[in-house]
Structure 1
Amino acid sequence: MIELLVVRHGESQADLEDRHEGRADFELTPLGERQAGLAAAWIAKRYRPHEMIASPLKRAARTAEAIAQECKLTVAYDEKLTEWNNGLLAGMKREEAHRLYPLPASGRQPFDTLAESESEIQFRARAEAFLSELLFRHRSKPDLHRICIVSHGGMINMLFHSLLNLPFQTELSLATGDTGIHLWRIDRSRKRIVFTNAQEHLRS
């Protein structure tokens, strides 16, 4: 049986500056660092993982490092866990992005690569590739094996869609706040969402 403990990074500098983040590599804020520390202590006490995989972008890597230090693990980094590649929008103020790269009147389509960005289809495929490879690699684990994945809101949403084999066009989305934690359990063909977006560690 495999458990995926999926964690979003803490608050980043882009959040304070109202910038598009995506592939822009912003650091955690002091609050984000504190959030990561609180998440790490909560995870170590309640859901200590056996291994860790994270996006190499600074905000996710730093969050993962805090958890790894608390749980005495090392972090493996995987480029497939990075956030949506938003091309020319990365790091841009939202107001400026809206002016320079307005959405078409028909809305953004799944195949669009507006502003040299990754299309939604490509983004979903990347999540599918990561998840299928991970589950295949651990398919024969006889006992519980818990993997902590530290990533970004958009990618976590895509992983959720991939795990549940949701159709590409779906109205269902998964909310994840700063250091929000999800637990998904896979036991052969059975998949169970144990909890989503836990943030009780932030109330301590």
Structure 2
Amino acid sequence: MPFLALLRHGQSQWNLENRFTGWVDVDLTAEGEAQARRSGELLAQSGVPFDKLFTSVQTRAIRTGNLALDKAGLAWLPVERSWRLNERHYGALTGLDKAETAAKHGEAQVKVWRRSYDTPPPPLEAGGAFDLSKDRRYAGVEVPQTESLKLTLERVLPYWNEKVAPDLQAGKNLIIAAHGNSLRAIVKHLFNVPDDQIVGVEMPTGNPLLIELDRDLRPKSARYLDAARAEKLPP
């Protein structure tokens, strides 16, 4: 039976500063690098013979994956990257301080924007500092102006079906180093989490969620490899 490790990137600079990041390419902090290396140790200790790494095209996920593989003695594994594994686009919230945004709009409204399944934040204005439509890595991609988790799942799922699921069905053990919301989208799909319950699912930074799957890619078991930093498992 295949194993899938979902690894949210280590702490980023904007995680530390409590800012909405989304598609902005922010690097890891020193703590984030340490979390990535610790993730590699945990993956090695799991005893699972991993075969491949998938990442987004964002630096914090790429570096987390690379640091983890290096620490696990798996720097030689093949790596595949896709923008479809990017973090959710936070629209006009991008770059804003989360606490200040809650004070301005109310905690209830910000929680809806952050955690609800199908309500996206207001769209990002074109031409601003965080407009990535001319970024070379997104050539030929219609960069979103905002995304809900539902929209994130809709662009993650084709990649899952075309690239990830076939490798799992072939018996390969995979690592996906990505982001809180692109991984929540995968968790929602795998565990069939209801729309109104996905709000309670959180992915901790730098703590692999190891999932054993059956032949139909249904979860048989799941556990965080660092039990001391574990979040509640999907319902």
Q: TM-score range by the shorter chain?
A: 0.7 to 0.9
Paired with 1:11 and 1:24, the residues of 2 have a C-alpha distance of 14
Residue number in structure 1 paired with 2:138: none
What is the CA deviation profile of residues 64-84 of structure 1, one whole-angstrom value per residue up to 9, with x for unaligned ones? 011233312132111111111
Does 2:147 align with 1:118?
yes
With 63-72 and 170-179 compared, the bigger mean Cα shift is at 170-179
Does 2:41 align with 1:41?
yes
With 155-164 and 116-125 compared, the bigger mean Cα shift is at 116-125
Structure 1 residues 189 and 115: alpha-carbon distance in aligned structure 2, compared to 1, 3 A threshold: same
TM-score (structure 1 length as normaliser): 0.82
Partner of 1:145: helix, strand, or coil? coil
Matches within 5 A, 1:133-144: 133-138=162-167, 141=170, 144=171
Partner of 1:52: helix, strand, or coil? strand
CA contact (8 A) 1:68 1:74 kept: no
CA contact (8 A) 2:51 2:78 kept: no
Structure with a larger share of its residues in strand: 1
Partner of 2:54: helix, strand, or coil? strand
Paired with 1:195 and 1:138, the residues of 2 have a C-alpha distance of 19
Matches within 5 A, 1:45-194: 45-46=45-46, 47-69=48-70, 70-71=73-74, 72-98=76-102, 108=113, 110-116=118-124, 117-138=146-167, 141=170, 144-170=171-197, 173-189=200-216, 191-194=218-221
Structure 1 residues 129 and 100: alpha-carbon distance in aligned structure 2, compared to 1, 3 A threshold: farther
What is the CA deviation profile of residues 142-164 of structure 1, one whole-angstrom value per residue up to 9, with x for unaligned ones? xx420110111122111111112
Paired with 1:112 and 1:63, the residues of 2 have a C-alpha distance of 27
Give the alignment's Cα RMSD to 1 decimal: 2.8
What is the CA deviation profile of residues 111-143 of structure 1, one whole-angstrom value per residue up to 9, with x for unaligned ones? 5452341133211212322322235523652xx
Partner of 2:123: helix, strand, or coil? helix
What is the CA deviation profile of residues 39-76 of structure 1, one whole-angstrom value per residue up to 9, with x for unaligned ones? 11221342341000011211111100112333121321
Runs of at least 5 residues in structure 2 that lack an aligned partner in the other structure = 125-145, 230-235
Structure 1 residues 115 and 96: alpha-carbon distance in aligned structure 2, compared to 1, 3 A threshold: farther
CA contact (8 A) 1:157 1:173 kept: no
Partner of 1:166: helix, strand, or coil? coil
Does 2:31 align with 1:31?
yes
Instruction: Give, in angstroms, the shift of residue 180 of structure 1.
Output: 1.5
CA contact (8 A) 1:36 1:66 kept: yes
Structure 1 residues 52 and 104: alpha-carbon distance in aligned structure 2, compared to 1, 3 A threshold: closer
Paired with 2:200 and 2:148, the residues of 1 have a C-alpha distance of 17
With 131-140 and 75-84 compared, the bigger mean Cα shift is at 131-140
Paired with 1:171 and 1:179, the residues of 2 have a C-alpha distance of 20
Runs of at least 5 residues in structure 1 that lack an aligned partner in the other structure = none
The count of aligned residue pairs is 199
